[in-house]
């Protein structure tokens, strides 16, 4: 190479280097602002419902639109949903889906209506056992507000996946796609959430979620419908009143047990807590705390006449199951709060209660209170019992079946949780 050529190449490379340095400098200047804006927001569940297998009484859906009503806990600037075909035996096609603020009944606030897409498509097929996540849509989601999630199912569903005891009215249309309709005309009313398992928002980094894992008592059985009077609702309302932007995700399923599934005899009691734990709790975005209230059905359903099975378990086996939940939650960095099991003497379900079964409950409660395995304890037993007869609910708190609280009992449970537990 000649000396002149070498000098010219040096100058050329020098100019290219200067241009590259200026370009990289501009990238470096703009990049922190972009990263900072995104780092200050993250996905958090604002609502959830644990899926279970439907029984013969579950609503049948074919070429119809579901308009499902959910109540937000925290708000956000974007929203997305999860649809579950967990128990489906064939692929399930979602023909279209929308989300909007609910006005009243099945009516929406039209100005807030947004079409949802899945992997940039308006329609998607969900394989058996799978879940799909919608694309994020820009939407100012208010806290403590009813949303309407509309899902068009063009075909017939085989096995029904849903949450069957919602304490909330939702709507099923006549035949056709009505996801964008301002109102569903002459709908069928249902007390279930079908296919929809979560609604998530893009929220400030300081916002997070508490997951409440439990059975029908966490699910709010026998509470007044459409007014959000489950104990997790009362807890979340207290947090909001204290200025705390913390979501509370209700992961309760009626009849649920720690150690055994609830598939037998057509009862939609869901997979065991140990089986569904990763899916319902650990996979939920933004969860930092876990509140566990499980075990009463492991005790009561052993040989009960309406039980999903006849498995008789010991208090030691229930405790071992709770320890598994604690270990798996701690592995993911969650703070775990244990709840004592509430009174159930003379429960009206035939065979559900006996003094021997109550002795198991006392043994489990003693371990919850005194083992030190939980990071904190909430004593729902003491909060709801009749001081004159501690094996029964205080009459004012009893729904009437002597197993589930009524609204006042759920409110007492929500009030029993110390808000200082949540940092």
Digit-coded pLDDT (tens) for 224-248: 999 999 999 999 999 999 999 999 9
Q: How far apart are CA 83 and CA 54, in angstroms?
A: 15
Alpha helices in 145-219 (DSSP H): 216-219
Give 377's DSSP letter: E
Q: How far apart are CA 99 and CA 196, in angstroms?
A: 12
User: What is the tally of helices (H) and strands (E) in the chain?
Assistant: 9, 24
Which pair of tokens denotes residue 280? 């319902």
pLDDT at 60: 86
Which pair of tokens denotes residue 25? 């400098």
Q: Where are the domains of the chain?
A: 53-203, 204-423
Structure confidence at residue 264 as a pLDDT band (50, 70, 90): low
Q: How far apart are CA 325 and CA 47, in angstroms?
A: 22
CB-based contact 58:188 (threshold 8 Å): no
3-state helix, strand, coil in the chain (%, to 5): 30, 30, 40
Which pair of tokens denotes residue 6? 């070498």
- Give the bridge partners for 193, in sequence order: 163
Give the E-state strand segments of 195-236 in sequence order: 196-204, 208-214
CA dihedral 217, 241, 338, 233 (to 10 degrees): 20
Averaged pLDDT score across all residues of the chain: 90
Q: How far apart are CA 158 and CA 156, in angstroms?
A: 6
Q: How far apart are CA 328 and CA 213, in angstroms?
A: 13
**For the residues of 98-113, what is the DSSP string, one character each?**
EEEEEEETTEE-GGG-
Q: How far apart are CA 117 and CA 133, in angstroms?
A: 9
Give per-residue pLDDT as tens, 340-380.
999 999 999 999 999 999 999 999 999 999 999 999 999 99
Give per-residue pLDDT as tens, 179-215.
999 999 999 999 999 999 999 999 999 999 999 999 9
pTM above 0.85, yes or no: yes
CB-based contact 65:152 (threshold 8 Å): yes
Which pair of tokens denotes residue 57? 């009484």
For residue 312, count other CB atoms closer than 10 A to its CB: 13
Instruction: Choose the weakest-confidence range: 245-249, 305-309, 415-419.
Output: 305-309
Nearest to 87 by CA among 164, 154, 177: 164
Nearest to 181 by CA among 74, 244, 105, 275: 105
Per CATH, is 204-423 categorized as 3.40.50.1110? yes
**Terminal-residue alpha carbon distance, the chain:** 70
Which pair of tokens denotes residue 312? 């008789």
Tell me the CA distances in angstroms from 33 to 37, 39, 42, 113, 167, one per residue in order: 6, 10, 16, 31, 44
Structure confidence at residue 15 as a pLDDT band (50, 70, 90): very low
CB-based contact 116:78 (threshold 8 Å): no
């Amino acid at each position: 190479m000649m000396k002149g050529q070498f000098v010219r190449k040096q100058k050329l490379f020098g100019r290219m280097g200067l241009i590259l340095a200026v370009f990289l400098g501009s990238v470096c200047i703009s990049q922190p602002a972009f990263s900072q804006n995104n780092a200050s927001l993250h996905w958090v569940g604002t609502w959830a419902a644990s899926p279970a297998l439907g029984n013969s009484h579950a609503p049948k859906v074919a070429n119809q639109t579901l308009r499902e009503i959910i109540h937000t806990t925290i708000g956000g600037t974007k929203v997305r949903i999860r649809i579950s075909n967990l128990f489906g035996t064939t692929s399930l096609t979602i023909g279209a889906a929308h989300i909007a603020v609910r006005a009243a009944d099945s009516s929406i606030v039209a100005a807030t209506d947004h079409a949802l897409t899945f992997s940039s498509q308006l329609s998607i097929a969900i394989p058996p056992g799978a879940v799909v996540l919608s694309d994020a849509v820009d939407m100012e989601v208010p806290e403590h507000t009813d949303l309407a999630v509309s899902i068009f199912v063009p075909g017939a569903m085989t096995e029904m996946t849903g949450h069957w005891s919602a304490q909330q009215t939702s709507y099923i249309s006549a035949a056709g796609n009505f996801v964008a309709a301002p109102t569903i005309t002459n709908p069928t009313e249902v007390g279930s959430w079908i296919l929809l398992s979560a609604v998530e928002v893009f929220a400030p980094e300081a916002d997070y979620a508490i997951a409440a894992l439990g059975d029908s008592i966490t699910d709010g059985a026998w509470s007044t419908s459409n007014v959000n009077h489950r104990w997790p609702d009362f807890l979340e309302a207290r947090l909001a009143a204290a200025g705390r932007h913390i979501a509370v995700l209700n992961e309760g399923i009626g009849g649920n047990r720690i150690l055994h599934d609830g598939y037998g005899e057509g009862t939609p009691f869901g997979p065991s807590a140990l089986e569904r734990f990763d899916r319902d709790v650990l996979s939920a975005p933004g969860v930092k705390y876990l509140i566990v209230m499980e075990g009463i059905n492991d005790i009561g359903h052993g040989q009960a006449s309406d039980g999903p099975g006849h498995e008789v378990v010991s208090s030691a086996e229930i405790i071992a199951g709770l320890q598994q939940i604690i270990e798996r939650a701690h592995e993911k960095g969650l703070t775990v709060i244990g709840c004592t099991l509430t009174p159930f003497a003379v429960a009206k379900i035939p065979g559900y209660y006996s003094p021997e079964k109550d002795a198991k409950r006392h043994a489990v409660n003693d371990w919850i209170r005194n083992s030190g395995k939980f990071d904190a304890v909430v004593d729902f037993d003491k909060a709801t019992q009749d001081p004159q007869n501690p094996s029964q609910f205080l009459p004012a708190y009893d729904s009437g079946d002597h197993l589930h609280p009524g609204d006042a009992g759920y409110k007492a449970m929500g009030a029993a949780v110390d808000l200082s537990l949540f940092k």
